[in-house]
Structure 1
Amino acid sequence: MTFEHLKKLVDMMFVPDGQGGVLQRYDTVDPKSLHPLVLAYIGDAYFHLFIRGRILSYEQSKVQVLHQFSAQMVSAVWQDKAYRAIEHILDEEEKAVYRRGRNAKSHAPRSASVAQYHSSTGFEALLGYLYLMERNERLYELAEQSFQVISKAMMAEISERK
Structure 2
Amino acid sequence: MKFESFQRLVAMMFEADDAGHLIERHGELTDYDIRQMNSLVLAYVGDAYFHLFVRTRLLSFDQSNVRALHAFSAQIVSAVWQHKAYLAIEPMLTEDEKAIYRRARNAKSHAPRSATVAEYHSSTGFEALLGSLYLRHETARLEELAEASFQAIAQAIMKDIHEKET
Counterpart code for 1:138: R
Cα deviation per residue 1:27-52 (whole Å; 9 max; x = unaligned)? 62513321000000000000000000
1:97 to 97, 100, 104: 100
Distance 1:27 1:69, change over 3 A: closer
Aligned to 1:32: 35
Aligned to 1:21: 23
SS, match of residue 21 in structure 1: strand
Report the Cα distance in structure 1 between the residues aligned to 2:130 and 2:115, rounded to whole angstroms. 20
Gaps of 5+ in 2: none
Aligned to 1:11: 10
Q: Any residues of structure 2 matched to 1:1-162 within 5 Å, and which?
A: 8=7, 11-16=10-15, 18=17, 21-24=23-26, 28-30=30-32, 31-162=34-165
User: TM (normalized to structure 1)?
Assistant: 0.90
Tell me if structure 2 keeps the 8 A contact 1:39–1:128: yes
SS, match of residue 23 in structure 2: coil
Supply the RMSD in Å over aligned alpha carbons.
2.2
Counterpart code for 1:87: E
| Count of matched residue positions in the alignment of Structure 1 and Structure 2 | 161
User: TM (normalized to structure 2)?
Assistant: 0.88
SS, match of residue 14 in structure 2: coil
State percent identity of aligned pairs: 57
Report the Cα distance in structure 1 between the residues aligned to 2:29 and 2:46, rounded to whole angstroms. 21
Counterpart code for 1:32: R
